[in-house]
Amino acid sequence: MISRRVKERIGFGSLAFCTILAIIPLIGIIGFLVWKGAPALTWEFLTQPPRKFLTEGGIFPAIVGTLGLTLGTIVVALPLGIGTAIYLVEYSKKSLFTTMVRIAIVNLAGVPSVVYGLFGMGLFVLTLNLGRSLVAGALTLGFLTLPVIISTAEEALLAVPDDYRNASLALGATRWQTIRRVILPAAFPSILTGTILGIGRAAGETAPIMFTAAAIYIPSLPRTVFDQVMALPYHLYAVATQIPNVPEHKAFGSAIVLVAIVSGLNLIAVIIRTKMRLKNMR
Amino acid sequence: MSKKLNRYYEKGIRYLLAFTAGTSIMILFLIFFFLFREGAGVFSYVNPIDFILGKEWSPVSEPPVFGALPLIAGSLVVTFGAGIIAIPVGIGIAVFLAEMAPRSVREVSKAIIELLAGVPSVVYGFIGLTVMAPMIKDLFNLPSALSAFTASIVLAVMALPTVVSISEDALNAVPRDFREASLALGATKWETTLRVVLPSARSGLIAASMLGLGRAIGETMAVLMVAGNATLIPHSIFDPVRTITADIAAEMGETVQGGLHYQALFGLGMVLFTITFIINLITDLVFAKTSSIKRGASL
């Protein structure tokens, strides 16, 4: 019989192996992307519009489109998300209404992104007649991101100690004054972290913008928010599967830029959070 | 501001915030409404039972045939395949991180897993298409690189971060006393993990698995790119398949607004919405303990 100690070694050893196994792909993926795509990453590639149906030129309009959609997502989701979280944490007692809100949030979080795309197309593109446009895409992505932002904002508000609230109220401040001057500033870094993580997710989404905002080939930049735009995720999908004769390194280059934007956002969030943790430990 | 005005101001803000909170309910309702409004028309062409159980999906043939079973089967096969890989591996990693890894390793691993979660699905699809599929084809000597099998592996990688982070939360929620009592009785750390910690965290681990599956079944771009896109009921895991999500994404561009095909795709949306709703409901039943906050943040 194997001794218990050996069993323990084997057990924990195989788990460590599992973990390494999961981390290798990330390093492999990033390494491979960089290796294949680095030749494409020139100044021209990043700052020039595409030519000859994506086979030449750069991806500048796609970068602009993705940044525009991301900004729009923030404009839609942030006020709604924080407002909802404030209401749930600071105002409401457990009521039928808040129970319904919570059920709705949990279910919204589970709705697949392609269904958000169908919904955005039905409501914004067709019914509200916005057409395929930056604004329709931003609204769709904003709604998609809402559950993440609500949840993280809620968590951030709950983490503010009750003493803060009581002290402020005892000094004669009203509820809203307390929220605006005491609670929101205290919770702000955590809310920021959650928001950036949510936005990072939205920036990389493809399915929701396929039917609501994105086009394969528009060399000119959008002039208004009602214009259709190129966007990096959809661009990557198109050059990888839809358009023949696109040089391989251009596809890899687009993938690098997309991963860099999204990971850059995530990294900022992780850094803010780590700093906060360290500060709290002191 | 006078006191009275101040009170109105406070009340106004309260109502404004309550209204904001109400938008979530409204959005859920609107999603439901639009799927139904745009899609219901197809059910006067085929009845709902034939739509779900029909074995042929030929939307552009004359006359068109809308039987979603191949797509539903495709979705279930790749999700199941992804689950078989991602659930044990994910829980294993979570145990490693929560029970044995030193602090520094844990922090670094968590950051990496979080970055892994942030990689967009279209990038996973791209990597799957250009790197993993050819490798898998050679490794297993398969006739075609793009199949349910390849999709399962790509999806497993994508679902892993969800499974790991929620499982880890569940493990961390097991009180320290349980572990200490077990160790004090002479059990090894491994025995404690296996017989005390894991059973105590059971409901959280099940929930982690369900949410991982929910993530996999809703995934669109990656499966569109690597699953092979054959609208046939698969006979083996190595057959090419097309999932519900991939079909909507692939065909929506070709449809005429309000046409039968367009309606059928919204019908598929309803089927998908219903499946994820059921997964959510099951999760709710086993998951009452862990807060809705964690769940929202995980997805």
Can you give the residue ranges of every domain in chain B? 3-44, 48-298
- Was domain B48-298 assigned CATH 3.30.1300.10? no
pLDDT of residue B293: 47
Query: What string of pLDDT tens digits covers the 299 residues of chain B?
Result: 577 888 888 889 999 999 999 999 999 999 999 999 999 999 999 999 999 998 889 888 888 999 999 999 999 999 999 999 999 999 999 998 888 888 888 888 887 887 788 889 999 999 989 888 888 888 888 777 898 999 999 999 899 988 998 899 899 889 889 999 999 998 888 889 989 999 999 888 988 898 889 889 999 999 999 998 888 888 888 889 999 999 999 998 888 888 899 999 999 999 999 998 888 888 777 766 554 445 544 44
By mean pLDDT, which of A19-23, A33-37, A44-48 is the weakest? Answer: A19-23
Are A238 and B129 in contact, with CB atoms under 8 Å apart?
no
Closest CA to A80 of B9, B18, B291, B295: B18
φ and ψ at residue A245, rounded to 5 degrees: 70, 15
Contacts of B119 in chain A (CB under 8 A): 26, 29, 204, 259, 262-263
| Helical pair A113-120 and B3-39, crossing angle rounded to 10 deg | 100
What chain B residue is nearest to A271 in terms of C-alpha separation? Answer: B111
pLDDT of residue B163: 92
Distance from CA of A232 to the nearest CA of B (A): 10
CA A232 to CA A209: how far, in whole Å? Answer: 11
Kindly report, residue by residue over A240-280, the tens digit of the pLDDT: 888 878 888 888 999 999 999 998 888 888 788 778 777 76
> pTM to 2 decimals?
0.89
Query: Nearest 10 degrees: CA dihedral of A31, A210, B261, A239?
Result: -50
Kindly report, residue by residue over A75-130, the tens digit of the pLDDT: 999 999 999 999 999 888 788 899 899 889 988 988 999 999 999 999 999 889 89
Contacts of A265 in chain B (CB under 8 A): 118
What chain A residue is nearest to B192 in terms of C-alpha separation? Answer: A8
Can you give the residue ranges of every domain in chain A? 4-40, 43-281
Mutation target among B42, B262, B293 for the A interface, most CBs of A within 10 A: B293
Of A8, A106, A115, the CB nearest to B296: A106
Closest CA to B297 of A110, A276, A157: A110
CATH topology classification for A43-281: MetI-like fold (1.10.3720)
Asked if A266 and B115 come within 8 Å (Cβ–Cβ), the reply is yes
Closest CA to B289 of B211, B176, B163, B202: B202
pLDDT of residue B287: 65
pLDDT-derived band at A32, boundaries 50, 70, 90: confident
A48, two tokens: 């020039």
Kindly report, residue by residue over A145-163, the tens digit of the pLDDT: 999 999 989 989 998 999 9
Contacts of B89 in chain A (CB under 8 A): 18, 21-22
Distance from CA of A52 to the nearest CA of B (A): 22
Asked if A262 and B279 come within 8 Å (Cβ–Cβ), the reply is no
CA B94 to CA B296: how far, in whole Å? Answer: 20
Contacts of A12 in chain B (CB under 8 A): 96, 100, 189-190
Asked if B131 and A32 come within 8 Å (Cβ–Cβ), the reply is yes
Instruction: Look at residue A56 and give its three-state secondary structure.
Output: strand
CA A171 to CA A150: how far, in whole Å? Answer: 29
pLDDT of residue B297: 47
